[in-house]
Structure 1
Amino acid sequence: MNRRLALRLLVLACCIAGLAGCSNDTMEAPKLEFTNLLNIPPLLEPTIDQEGRKHFTITMQSGATEFFEGVETPTWGVNGSYLGPTVRVSRGDRVSFEVINRLDEASTLHWHGMRLPAAMDGGPHQMIEAGASWKPYWTIEQPAATTWYHPHLHEKTALHVYRGVAGLFLIEDEESRKLPSEYGVNDIPIVIQDKKFKSDGAFNENVTQAPFGILGNQILINGTHDPHWKVASNRIRFRLLNGSNTRVYKIGFSDNRTFELIANDAGLLPEPVSIDRLVVSPGERAEIVVEFEPGEETLLRSFPVKRDGITHSDFDLVKLIADRSLAPAPPLPRRLSAEPPIDAQHRETVRTFDFTTKSEINGKAMDMHRIDHVIPAGAREIWVIRNRGWDHNFHIHDAVFTILDRNGSPPSAYERGRKDTVFIPSGTTVKIAVDFGRYADPDTPYMYHCHLLYHEDSGMMGQFVIVEPGTENRVPRRLPDRGEAEHDHSS
């Protein structure tokens, strides 16, 4: 080892010393110098067949990534060494994928936030063996939204996501195109992940640290450590994704400026909401629009968050440096979306879900063969999630919901849009109105689960199937042992 590399490793070791066993997140985050230009994940270009279907090829693979100069970290990624390209489609598009697994173990690829048939969902029932491929296809039948993709295999999701298999999946429509939409210029992805590094530069993969899972002391933004980004427009749309395993972020700016929240997980809000702080838990997304003046600088930050009596660290995320001359971006429309609200009419089916400190929902750990709920296609239901344990959050596949109340009170302004994931701190009861999908398949389940990935892997997950209305009582509550999963859903 040459002296220069040894010095870099020493600096890295000093930066992370003592954190390997720290589970309560009490140590300060290292001070940043903002030396690295923020990476913008490339757009994945499709091929288009004679019928107009857009086809994308995605390869899960291992590699090595240089987060710190001169130090390579073993990583996983999609079409590269870490993270994956951004998929961008339009409402109404017919899409197909070939997902190739070049990892040395089986995995899956789940389309988080997508409305699609259960067999195409990419959950734990759609395993892709090492060396195999999977060919899902569907039609984009939902409003504009920032969704994402990541592995979703039973008991090992946390490790596979932590190693780097994830990427953004953007849906556009006529309403979203009225907003800043020039990708990489005034439409900027911000994928936030925390990591722990060992002294040799490798990830600390102790993702099963109780009670939440791993909490890293280093932040990566789009896979970039210590990033800055040069603002070229007077109005920037940031697409925020909490891609971390367990950490919750309270997003704001170092100068406490206000910004406009324009979208939640499942799409655009009816109108912009002015705020200066935004809490995002793992799996949640939000879109914000921020105005800049020529030549100014500010930091996108995560402010301290209290969880289960512990104040978790604050972090600088990325330094934003405005050019001296800024291109104009479109003004925000006063009305963003005409999508109707998900109303509760007091006659919907009500289901209750209890969370505790055990790795269970309603006293049951995940069972791949047990069907927990049978739901008629197109149903609208009220789900009540009661948390009497650690902090959790809650995600439902192939569903969109609005939060009706938290402990009987209206939700915060930034939570009043259409969502698919919700943060539920200890001692909280959340009531949501859920709109379910219309793809009936009694043999293939969707998941609902805590999206703190250690909790999900430990058993805090359940399954439901969507069936033709009126057939609910004819569906078996146990799935047959079908042996090896089917991999090729080619058209």
Structure 2
Amino acid sequence: MKTYKYIFGLLLLVVVVGLAGCRDEKPVTNVGKLHFDNSLKIPQLLEPTIGADGTKHFTLTMQSGTTEFLPGKKADTWGINGTYLGPTVKVSRGDKVSFDVVNQLDVASTLHWHGMKLPAAMDGGPHQMIKAGETWSPNWTIDQPAATTWYHPHIHGKTAQHVYRGLAGLFLIDDEDSKKLPSNYGVDDIPLIVQDKLFTSNGQFSEKDDTTFGTLGNEILVNGTYDPYVKVTASQVRFRLLNASNARAYHFGFTDNRSFQVVANDAGLLEKPVTLERIMLSPGERAEIVVNFKPGEETVLHSYSSGSGIENGEFDLIKMEAATKLTESAPIPEQLSSIPPIKAPKDAKVRQFKLTMKSEINDKKMDMNRIDEVVPAGTKEIWEINNFGWSHNFHIHDAAFRVLDVNGKKPPEYERGRKDTVFIPNGATVRIAVEFGDYPDPNHPLMYHCHLLRHEDDGMMGQFLLVEPGTESQVPTTLPKSDTEYQHAHH
């Protein structure tokens, strides 16, 4: 009898452990639940004040409030210049910009410009903390190709919470190339900020964090709108897709399987449009797609189960309803970008990074005082990222890159443009040619990290300095303690 009990106990243990291991894999869906009742909110374009020297000045205020997502229920939320999410900043290459980032929260935070090439002191990473009640005022000149970038907090240990509560917004850069695409913001150039959420029964955000990857939601918000639809008034619409979720990947496509043209990756336009029916984005990644519409038709943008390792849900995202009369759009140019692809020289330095299940990079967790890499400013290098556990992705600050290969094979054509965040499947080796910003600063570090925010918070992040070429060996690899006085502000 004891033997049977022992065997039964072992079997029970195997089942429980198995279920615990599968918790992340439980399929979730909202299909059939939505009525597409709510008109899509379009984040407002933030109007700058123009200084005497032409500098465009913007004010962004982080604040708390309440927002109604589910009908008749209000959630406590954070937002920027509002109660949830922030306005869209739109500038052109060559513009001088300055910001007042005002923190009206009751905790310290930061605001990081994800995808921006700029001096490290202006980056908004964990070293540029803004205490409650204080204002941070960065400024720089926009010097990079057109792109859909974004801004969000980047506090060591608390990024997931601050982003999840609503602190994020779009930062769009235009140049002569991008103006040839549909560019009437909110009309034929529409942002789609996609986030998954868990709601409690009374409509509050649940921050339940019980999966390997952090919070995975079972409801979707687009631009902070639950159950959304959008009216289409042009024959071609450019949608700027941003995966602003903490952990979930999306495999975007339409329920009628229509094709669309991918025209841009994270950090800029593709060389030429690529026609697809599906595109996968992991957290932090962006893509610009152009979709054709006929008068009176309807379709639903959907996320299909893709087996990427960080999601297996199936979600309706937003219904698109074309008007009975559509404005005729100009055709998409066959040549999109005049910027040559990123190429590393033959003698480029190769750096290797190992990602593990323990939220470590190269067997180390993030240390605010430790410099992990020293890189000559303005250089091009090859970074090889080897993933030994779970699925991850990889984002580098103040850099753009081109994916060279995944497990030795060239990436699909639509992933060959300028990027700053790349998905790294479990067991994969990804090589990228990285083009670094040309802003040497031996005192202010920049970050590279997993953009699954729970992993980043758990320590899956490293620091690098951009320095004057030739001075790499002269730079200390530790920072003075005073520079990291806020590192434990999240405790």
> Is TM-score (shorter-chain normalized) higher than 0.5?
yes
CA–CA distance in structure 2, aligned partners of residues 199 and 291 of structure 1: 39
> Which whole-Å deviations, capped at 9, do the CAs of 1:258-313 have from their partners, x for residues lacking one?
110000000001110111110000000000000000000000111002144x8611
- Asked if 1 retains the 8 angstrom alpha-carbon contact of 2:252 and 2:280, the reply is yes
CA–CA distance in structure 2, aligned partners of residues 190 and 167 of structure 1: 11
CA–CA distance in structure 2, aligned partners of residues 287 and 348 of structure 1: 30
Alignment correspondent of 2:119: 117
- Asked if 2 retains the 8 angstrom alpha-carbon contact of 1:92 and 1:141, the reply is yes
* SS of residue matched to 2:69: strand
Please identify runs of 4+ aligned residues in structure 1 that moved more than 4 A: 483-486
Equivalent pairs counted in the alignment come to 464
Give percent identity, aligned residues only.
62
Q: Confirm whether residue 51 of structure 1 aligns to residue 59 of structure 2.
A: no
Aligned AA for 1:240?
A: L
> Which whole-Å deviations, capped at 9, do the CAs of 1:132-163 have from their partners, x for residues lacking one?
01000000000100000000010000000000
Alignment correspondent of 2:272: 271
Give 1:200 deviation, angstroms.
1.5
- Asked if 2 retains the 8 angstrom alpha-carbon contact of 1:261 and 1:288, the reply is yes
> Which whole-Å deviations, capped at 9, do the CAs of 1:61-92 have from their partners, x for residues lacking one?
00000001211000000000000000000000
- Asked if 1 retains the 8 angstrom alpha-carbon contact of 2:23 and 2:211, the reply is no
Alignment correspondent of 1:332: 332
Alignment correspondent of 1:240: 241
1:339-350 equivalent positions in 2, closer than 5 A:
339-350=339-350
Alignment correspondent of 2:16: none
Aligned AA for 1:65?
A: T
> Which whole-Å deviations, capped at 9, do the CAs of 1:443-463 have from their partners, x for residues lacking one?
100000000000000000000
CA–CA distance in structure 1, aligned partners of residues 137 and 484 of structure 2: 16
Give 1:225 deviation, angstroms.
0.2
Give 1:342 deviation, angstroms.
1.1
Alignment correspondent of 2:9: none
Give 1:209 deviation, angstroms.
2.5
CA–CA distance in structure 2, aligned partners of residues 346 and 32 of structure 1: 53
> Which whole-Å deviations, capped at 9, do the CAs of 1:466-490 have from their partners, x for residues lacking one?
000110000000000125769xxxx
1:180-259 equivalent positions in 2, closer than 5 A:
180-206=182-208, 208-259=209-260
CA–CA distance in structure 2, aligned partners of residues 137 and 250 of structure 1: 36
* SS of residue matched to 2:456: helix
* SS of residue matched to 2:25: coil
Give 1:359 deviation, angstroms.
1.3
Relative to structure 1, is the Cα distance of residues 103 and 289 closer, same or farther in structure 2, using a 3 angstrom cutoff? Answer: same
- Asked if 2 retains the 8 angstrom alpha-carbon contact of 1:401 and 1:418, the reply is yes
* SS of residue matched to 1:177: helix
- Asked if 2 retains the 8 angstrom alpha-carbon contact of 1:35 and 1:227, the reply is yes
Root-mean-square deviation (CA), in Å? 1.3
* SS of residue matched to 1:80: coil
Alignment correspondent of 2:401: 401
> Which whole-Å deviations, capped at 9, do the CAs of 1:412-456 have from their partners, x for residues lacking one?
122110000000110111000000111000010000000000000
* Bigger mean CA offset, 28-37 vs 231-240: 28-37
- Asked if 2 retains the 8 angstrom alpha-carbon contact of 1:127 and 1:485, the reply is no
1:382-421 equivalent positions in 2, closer than 5 A:
382-421=382-421
Alignment correspondent of 2:423: 423
Q: Confirm whether residue 68 of structure 1 aligns to residue 76 of structure 2.
A: no
* SS of residue matched to 1:286: strand
- Asked if 2 retains the 8 angstrom alpha-carbon contact of 1:111 and 1:121, the reply is yes
1:156-171 equivalent positions in 2, closer than 5 A:
156-171=158-173
Alignment correspondent of 1:467: 467
Unaligned runs of 5+ in 1: 1-20, 487-491
Give 1:346 deviation, angstroms.
2.8
* Bigger mean CA offset, 113-122 vs 62-71: 62-71
Alignment correspondent of 2:18: none
